Amino acid sequence: MKIGKDLVAASAAPLVLAILQRGPSYGYALIQAVRELTGGELEWSEGMLYPVLHRLEEAELIESYSERGENGRQRRYYRLRPEGKKALAAERKQWDVVTAALTRAWAR
């Protein structure tokens, strides 16, 4: 099953925020986490993750810092800011409304 482009785009930011709520992470590991969470159904062009991260950083919902990764190279990590936690909570309420509405609509 291929998920539509618009839906992928809309869900990217809340997914990233939700994964970062578990702890700081970096690009490649974030993609792995997305793949795990979606059972591989949500196909991202992996490079497109970074513009999403930059947008979230610019909005000051997340912040990045440099640290040596397990491979010995400097790596850019991202972590959630308090504002990001709030945004995630708000985002979650909206998705809950949408999914509840869809579930009810499909049950009829």
Partner 1 sequence: MTDEELEVAIATYRVELIEEGGLAGGDLDELEDHLRALVTELRDAGLSAQIAFVEATRRLGQPHALAREFAHTRPVFGARPSRAAAWSALALMMVSTVPALVAAAIGEAPVTWSVFAVLSVMVMVGLALRTSWARAIVFGNAAYGLVVATAFLFTPTFSATLFVPEALVDAGLVAFLWPSRRSPLSVRGWALAVVGLAASGVSQVQFTIGTPFADAVIAPYLFGIAGILLCARWATPALLAVAGVLVVSIPDLARGADSNPNTALMFVFHLASIAALVTAAVLARRGARGAGSLRALAR
- Which residue in 8, 11, 18, 27 binds partner 1 (CB under 8 A)? 27
Query: Which residue, chain included where needed, has tokens 């009810």?
Result: 104
Q: Which stretch binds partner 1 (CB under 8 A): 5-13, 14-22, 44-52, 99-107?
A: 44-52
| Choices 8-16, 26-34, 86-94, 97-105; region in contact with partner 1 by CB under 8 A | 26-34
DSSP letters, the chain, are ----HHHHHHHHHHHHHHHHHTS-EEHHHHHHHHHHHHTT-S---GGGHHHHHHHHHHTTSEEEEEEE-TTSSEEEEEEE-HHHHHHHHHHHHHHHHHHHHHHHHHH-
Question: Mask of contacts with partner 1, 48-87, x by CB under 8 A?
Answer: x-xx--xx--x-x---x-x--x-x-xxxx-----------
Task: Tell me how far, at minimum, the Cβ of 53 lies from partner 1, in Å.
Answer: 9
Selected range binding partner 1 among 8-16, 43-51, 84-92, 98-106, rule: CB under 8 A = 43-51
Least CB distance to partner 1 at residue 29 (A): 8
Phi-psi map region of 68: left, alpha, beta (phi>0 left; psi -120 to 50 alpha): beta
Count the site residues for partner 1 by CB under 8 A.
22
